[in-house]
Chains A and B, each alone.
Chain A
């Protein structure tokens, strides 16, 4: 069946490897539904944490699915609501702001490796990792689909650059709304995001030092031991090789700063429901829905980034590209390292790919769940506590983390 698909496709597998197709599949078909589901999950989960039941009624005829359909109902409601634009707002900027909030997150997903590189020719059989390392130019291997939309050496810098643009969404919304509360919310949002971007970037530098790369795909493919000597290297699929073990401080700092970047409780000062409602106070209908969706897509994105950098991305524990392997050692083939030997069960490439997709999805869902847990547990910080935490705690700790990591690496590795 696969080969007939191959003949049918105009230019072989290359069409599946194109940016547009991958973006469509990965972002629109995987991420958007997950983000929409999170809007329901958040209400159900917060209810469970507060001894309530949560929304469980939305249904199509007898199909209830424990209320999953609430997000469909929400979407329909928001789309058909009146698109109200108050008098005196700056119409152009008012319309632009939700797009500015939503678009950068969708673009930033480009650097996330959603899964391993797929080699369609080896789908039915176990992948020959040594042959791949020896001769990557073999047509059997060049015909491949990389599950990362945009692979570039400065990968995570691109993420920081693009997410800074999301800052403008909130600020411009506040400015364009012709409402003092909205303006206050916009100001708070920009000050908060500026402050925490610094700590966020700094908290990841330790991870870059450990992994020796800024490219998320490379971090996942080699893990923390990338710069170890070949004798001490570990397989990328070994959980002990993932950066959570080597950068625990960086992990805690990054998670804190990243949650602050999503502007959700305990860092929801820009929104500040009981006091100012926030920068989107004048928005309604689907325009407001875009802010709302952007927030949830950001949760998914942050989870994906944490998964990629700290939890081995799509790596399934002890699952090498050719099958399950416990123990074993690293063999140097040309410029790359291949994990061989040990207790080994070969698996077809298709199954491996599937398991790794599932692993990535499970990690992202778990981390999103954790973010919702945090959001419904902690009360909001005061603005001064927020600044205190960002500048006087996270930043110095992140700098210390860089120093210590660099020293350890210099002295022991």
Chain B
């Protein structure tokens, strides 16, 4: 007997347990060769009438309910897939998009925003980490010297081609100073011209918020002061 037979032996177990077709006789030389009884559908099933009428009843029920009962409320439909808890309402799940929106999960990656410093200047230091990591090569940064003290560089041009962006979020992960984020919850808007889909420094700063991250980091003692410190938390 070959290895393949042994590998397939769980079939035999299933047969022995009563699953599968009824076994009439098993070959002694090769137990996998067996005579089985084939079960053909009875006349009621073979005519398809039973199953057809059952299926029609199901679809008819849905149709009647959705056709005659009023729409569910916006809020209830926005929770797509949630069971119908409103009485005498239909089961339609469709969210009529531009007028109604579903609430996105907190970590939904939307359009980019560039965060701001306390004085409203852009927080980005043009370190070029995000264009380097971006797998779609859609970030273009031209750095320039910054005139503010303590900040070496800043972007003169910061453009993201939203048509090429695959919304992977790697730029956000790569940024060492919380300067770029994708937490706007907005979609890339439909545009008529490809060039309109390019986000610029200005448009992304317009969406910007002040970052609460401490400028320059929390210093060498951050491990001691970090919240959630636990003796067994070795992954901090």
Using CB atoms and an 8 Å cutoff, list the residues of chain A in contact with chain B: 45, 47-53, 373-374, 376-378, 389, 393
Q: How far is the CA of A317 from the CA of B96 in the complex (A)?
A: 43
Are A373 and B66 within 8 A (Cβ)? no
* B47-A373 in contact (CB<8A): no
Number of A-B contacts (CB under 8 A): 39
* Closest Cβ neighbor of A53 among chain B residues: B94
What is the minimal beta-carbon distance from A378 to any residue of chain B, in angstroms?
6
Residue in A48, A374, A378, A389 whose CB lies within 8 Å of B62: A48
Beta-carbon contact of B92 and A51 below 8 Å: yes
Task: Given A48-B66, A51-B66, decide whether A373 and B93 contact each other with a Cβ distance below 8 A.
Answer: no
Q: Which residues of B contact A (CB under 8 A)?
A: 46-48, 52, 55-56, 58-60, 62-63, 66-67, 91-94, 96
With A48-B62, A49-B63, A51-B62 as contacts: A374 and B56 at CB distance below 8 Å: yes
Are A377's CB and B55's CB within 8 A?
Answer: yes
- What separation, in Å, do the CA atoms of A49 and B55 have in the docked complex? 11
Closest to B54 in A: A377
Question: CA A374 – CA B93 in complex, angstroms?
Answer: 23
- Minimum CB–CB distance from A387 to chain B (whole Å) comes to 14
Give the residues in chain A near B47, CB-CB below 8 Å.
393
Contact sample, A vs B, 5 pairs, CB 8 Å cutoff? A48-B66, A48-B67, A49-B63, A52-B93, A52-B94
Residues of A contacting B55 in the complex (Cβ-Cβ under 8 angstroms): 377-378
Considering the chains assembled together, what is the distance between the CA atoms of A224 and B56 in angstroms? 29
Given A374-B56, A377-B56, the answer on whether A50 and B62 have CB atoms closer than 8 Å is yes
A residues near B67, Cβ cutoff 8 Å: 48
A47 to B67, CA, bound (A): 10
Helix, strand, loop or mixed for chain B's interface? helix
* A-chain residues with CB within 8 Å of residue B91 when the two chains form the complex: 51
Given contacts A51-B62, A51-B66, A51-B92, list 9 more A-B pairs with CB under 8 A.
A48-B92, A49-B63, A52-B94, A53-B92, A53-B96, A373-B56, A373-B60, A377-B55, A389-B48
A49 touches B94 (CB 8 A): no
> With A and B bound together, what is the CA distance between A155 and B119 in angstroms?
89
Min C-beta distance of B69 to chain A, whole Å: 11
CA–CA, A50 to B65, complex, Å?
A: 11
For the complex, what is the distance from the CA of A389 to the CA of B56, rounded to whole Å? 19
Give the distance to chain B from A66, nearest Cβ to Cβ, in Å: 12
Q: Is the CB of A49 within 8 A of B59?
A: yes
Q: State how many angstroms separate the Cβ of B85 from the closest Cβ of chain A.
A: 15
Q: Which chain A residue has the least Cβ–Cβ distance from B64?
A: A48
With a cutoff of 8 Å between Cβ atoms, the chain A residues found around residue B93 in the complex are 51-52
Partner of A45, one of B46, B48, B56, B63: B63
Bound CA–CA A393/B46 (angstroms): 9
Let me know if A378 and B63 touch, CB within 8 A: no
Which B residues lie within 8 Å of A47 (CB)?
Answer: 94
Alpha-carbon gap, A77 to B183, bound state (A): 39
Cα-based distance from A307 to B88 in the complex (angstroms) = 34
Q: A51-B93, A53-B94 are in contact. Are A373 and B52 (CB under 8 A)?
A: no
Docked CA distance A305–B56 (Å): 22
Q: List the 6 shortest-distance A-B pairs measured between CB atoms, nearest first.
A: A53-B94, A48-B66, A377-B59, A49-B59, A51-B91, A49-B63
Inter-chain contacts of B60 with A (CB < 8 A): 373
In the complex, how many angstroms separate the beta carbon of A263 from the nearest chain B beta carbon?
Answer: 18
Shortest A326–chain B CB gap in Å is: 31
Q: What residues on B are CB-neighbors of A374 within 8 Å?
A: 56
Q: In the complex, A389 Cα to B92 Cα: how many Å?
A: 36
Shortest C-beta distance, A15 to chain B (Å), equals 43
User: Which A residues are CB-close (under 8 A) to B96?
Assistant: 53
A376-B48 in contact given A48-B67, A51-B66, A53-B92 (Cβ < 8 Å): no
Q: How far is the CB of A131 from chain B (nearest CB, A)?
A: 47
Quote the shortest CB–CB distance from A191 to chain B (angstroms): 20
A51: chain B residues at CB < 8 Å are 62, 66, 91-93
Interchain CA distance A45-B59 in the complex, whole Å? 10
Q: Complex formed: what's the CA distance from A198 to B62 in Å? A: 35
